Amino acid sequence: MDGGRDAQVNVGHGGGSAGVQIHHSRRLPDFLQSVNLKYVKLGYHYLISNLLTLCLIPVMAVILIEASQMNPNDIRQLWLHLKYNLVSIVILSAVLVFGSTVYITSRPRSVYLVDYCCYRAPDKLKAPFHLFMEHSRLSGVFDESSLEFQRKILERSGLGEETYAPEAMFFVPPRPSMAAARDEAEQVMFGALDNLFANTSVKPKDIGILVVNCSLFNPTPSLSAMIVNKYKLRGNIRSFNLGGMGCSAGVIAVDLAKDLLQIHRNTCAVIVSTENMTQNWYYGNKKSMLIPNCLFRVGGAAVLLSNKSVDKRRAKYRLVHVVRTHKGADDKAFRCVYQEQDDAGTSGVSLSKDLMAIAGGALKTNITTLGPLVLPISEQLLFFATLVVKKLFNKNVKPYIPDFKLAFDHFCIHAGGRAVIDELEKNLQLLPIHVEASRMTLHRFGNTSSSSIWYELAYIEAKGRIHRGNRVWQIAFGSGFKCNSAVWQALRNVNPSVNGPWEDCIDKYPVKLVL
């Protein structure tokens, strides 16, 4: 055998005869070549990223050498020249001062994430698979085909046995009333807000902006009004209630709060992201409308943002970018997540079979906008060069996929389902550790809609992985169809908040998933 290879021999018996299979590992030179290519790319990235510095060093050296060789008389003449041109110096100084003042007053204000809290329901609301299926069967509304379909979805969903369902679903038959829906909303929102106010010592009267997003439950008075009433917020508060915007509405709420914090000085904004399941459980037999029953679970998050410079010292993160993509002009994208009635008149949310393809297109558009804002120049040059070659020479050349691992340290991918996480891991060429927070959030809490990205960030913090200067990419998908991104930069080494959702179980994670 070739001396440049390692050989493994497997002998098997079958059908009365022996068979021998020889598996060869890669040649050693091939392995060394791949290692060399890795370091060539790292060297290229370092060279391009520091090109300006490397060019300035010799220029500065030449200037210093020339200055050291100047005649003292030349230096004296230069001083006299400046001394007798005071008018020019004063005018120049005035222009610099004026320009600096305009820049300081007109530049965007920094938005800081002081803290956030995720709601964790009481243990009595845990919905293990056997209990979910038992209650589905006892409800009497699902036929055998629908029950079997739900069982298969649960097994393949990536959810674990400790997710939470709304209290109304634990009755036989279920009791999805308006009162029960209000109770669920109050428990989630007030539970998260109570922890937030306790952890930050912020008084409710100090809140100047309130943004609440919940897609499917929009009572009158609104959810934001319920919070104003509960915490007796001030009368001139700017409150907003976002409905029908799907699982990506948490990032939309951040974007709205950011814009308001550019206008209103020295104030704080609170965002509450949640979803309400009580009145939105589907009791029918249309397969595409049964999937949300198996994936969506109870959850919510409250986030405190501030534009006060004094809050920078205690804040966890600074908001760097928000990029929003809306594909609603396309009919297929518009209807891929659609609330409607089935043939029997039962309401629910239908998921299209084209959902993953549409999500991929929205993601492509979103990262095309985000890439130039966050990627190092080395990756942008490679992407541009591949694009030029594809357009001018060879249309069969595959587009270069930028390495977003060079731009971000942590990824919070919306835990919409196992397929969503798998697809982004593959398309963005991420490592298992980069999607660990998303997979574990889906396993422990299920799809909590717009708040899932906050449970994921809490997971990364609980693991002690976020250090000063790290960048976090939160990316979420939602009906409409939308793909939205938020980029945060850690201002310090971040520790998990008190009463965090992972506080008593983080040591058990990550768990091994059967994929």
- CATH for 457: 3.40.47.10
Task: Tell me, yes or no, whether 248 and 300 share the same domain.
Answer: yes
Q: What is the pLDDT of residue 45?
A: 59
Continuous H helices in 15-173: 28-49, 51-68, 72-83, 86-106, 129-139, 144-156
Question: Which comes out higher in pLDDT, residue 98 or 432?
Answer: 432
Res 83 pLDDT > 90: no
Query: Is 443 assigned a catalytic role?
Result: yes
Q: Which residues contact 489 (CB under 8 A, 6 or more apart)?
A: 317, 318, 320, 469, 470, 471, 472
pLDDT tens-digit readout, 138-162: 988 999 999 999 999 999 999 999 9
Tell me, yes or no, whether 44 lies in a domain. no
Structure tokens at 180: 């029960």
pLDDT tens-digit readout, 255-293: 999 999 999 989 999 999 999 999 999 999 999 999 999
What average pLDDT is seen over the chain? 86
Tell me, yes or no, whether 40 lies in a domain. no
User: Once rounded to an integer, what is the mean pLDDT over residues 338-343?
Assistant: 94
Tell me, yes or no, whether 14 lies in a domain. no
Q: What is the pLDDT of residue 170?
A: 93
The torsion angle over the Cα atoms of residues 179, 184, 190 and 194, rounded to 10 degrees, is 140
User: Which of 443, 470, 483, 484 is an active site residue?
Assistant: 443
pLDDT tens-digit readout, 361-391: 999 899 989 988 999 888 888 877 877 777 7
Q: What is the pLDDT of residue 261?
A: 96
Query: Is 326 assigned a catalytic role?
Result: yes
* Entry pTM: 0.82
Tell me, yes or no, whether 17 lies in a domain. no
Residue 486, Ramachandran bin (φ over 0: left; ψ between -120 and 50: alpha; else beta): beta
User: Once rounded to an integer, what is the mean pLDDT over residues 472-493?
Assistant: 96
User: Once rounded to an integer, what is the mean pLDDT over residues 232-247?
Assistant: 95
Exposure class string for 20-39: b at 16+ Cβ within 10 A, else e: eeeeeeeeeeeeeeeeeeee
Q: Closest Cα to residue 120, out of 454, 437, 434, 411?
A: 454
Q: What is the pLDDT of residue 7?
A: 39
Task: Tell me, yes or no, whether 341 and 406 share the same domain.
Answer: yes
User: Which of 247, 294, 336, 483 is an active site residue?
Assistant: 247
Tell me, yes or no, whether 411 lies in a domain. yes
Query: Is 410 assigned a catalytic role?
Result: yes
Q: What is the pLDDT of residue 96?
A: 80
User: Which of 326, 412, 470, 483 is an active site residue?
Assistant: 326
Task: Tell me, yes or no, whether 221 and 362 share the same domain.
Answer: yes
Given 92, 107, 122, the domain boundary residue is 107
Q: What is the pLDDT of residue 98?
A: 75
Lowest mean pLDDT among 97-111, 174-188, 285-299, 449-463: 97-111
Question: Using an 8 Å Cβ cutoff, are 174 and 152 in contact?
Answer: no
Q: What is the pLDDT of residue 401?
A: 79
Query: Is 467 assigned a catalytic role?
Result: no
Structure tokens at 164: 């939470």
Q: What is the pLDDT of residue 318?
A: 98
Q: Measured between alpha carbons, how far is residue 353 from residues 270, 335, 350 in Å?
A: 36, 11, 10
Question: Which comes out higher in pLDDT, residue 326 or 140?
Answer: 326
Given 85, 107, 129, the domain boundary residue is 107
The count of domains in the chain is: 2
Q: 89 lies in which domain range?
A: 73-107
- Band (pLDDT 50/70/90 cuts) for residue 53 is low
Res 224 pLDDT > 90: yes
Task: Tell me, yes or no, whether 82 and 176 share the same domain.
Answer: no
**Torsion sign across C-alpha atoms 162, 163, 166, 172:** negative
Question: Using an 8 Å Cβ cutoff, are 371 and 380 in contact?
Answer: yes
Res 35 pLDDT > 60: no
Question: Using an 8 Å Cβ cutoff, are 242 and 211 in contact?
Answer: yes
Query: Is 321 assigned a catalytic role?
Result: no
User: Once rounded to an integer, what is the mean pLDDT over residues 181-195?
Assistant: 97
Task: State phi, psi for 324 to the nearest 5 degrees.
Answer: -120, 135
Task: Tell me, yes or no, whether 333 and 185 share the same domain.
Answer: yes
Q: Closest Cα to residue 260, out of 183, 319, 341?
A: 319
Task: Tell me, yes or no, whether 100 and 181 share the same domain.
Answer: no
Given 107, 126, 150, the domain boundary residue is 107
Query: Is 24 assigned a catalytic role?
Result: no
Task: Tell me, yes or no, whether 90 and 237 share the same domain.
Answer: no
Res 16 pLDDT > 70: no
- Band (pLDDT 50/70/90 cuts) for residue 54 is low
Lowest mean pLDDT among 24-28, 104-108, 172-176, 458-462: 24-28
Tell me, yes or no, whether 49 lies in a domain. no
Structure tokens at 389: 């070659």
Task: Tell me, yes or no, whether 318 and 190 share the same domain.
Answer: yes
Task: Tell me, yes or no, whether 486 and 503 share the same domain.
Answer: yes
Task: Tell me, yes or no, whether 374 and 489 share the same domain.
Answer: yes
CA distance 8 to 88: 82
Tell me, yes or no, whether 25 lies in a domain. no
Exposure class string for 206-244: b at 16+ Cβ within 10 A, else e: bbbbbbbbbbbbebeebbbbbbbeebebeeebbbbbbee
Task: Tell me, yes or no, whether 159 and 102 share the same domain.
Answer: no
User: Which of 276, 307, 447, 470 is an active site residue?
Assistant: 447
Top mean pLDDT of 48-57, 78-87, 324-333 is at 324-333
Task: Tell me, yes or no, whether 117 and 77 share the same domain.
Answer: no
User: Which of 118, 410, 412, 434 is an active site residue?
Assistant: 410
Tell me, yes or no, whether 514 lies in a domain. no
Residues of the chain with pLDDT > 90, as a percent, come to 70
Residue 417, Ramachandran bin (φ over 0: left; ψ between -120 and 50: alpha; else beta): left
Res 44 pLDDT > 60: no
Q: What is the pLDDT of residue 452?
A: 97
- Band (pLDDT 50/70/90 cuts) for residue 74 is low
Q: What is the pLDDT of residue 383?
A: 77
pLDDT tens-digit readout, 434-461: 999 999 999 999 999 999 999 999 999 9
Structure tokens at 38: 């890795």
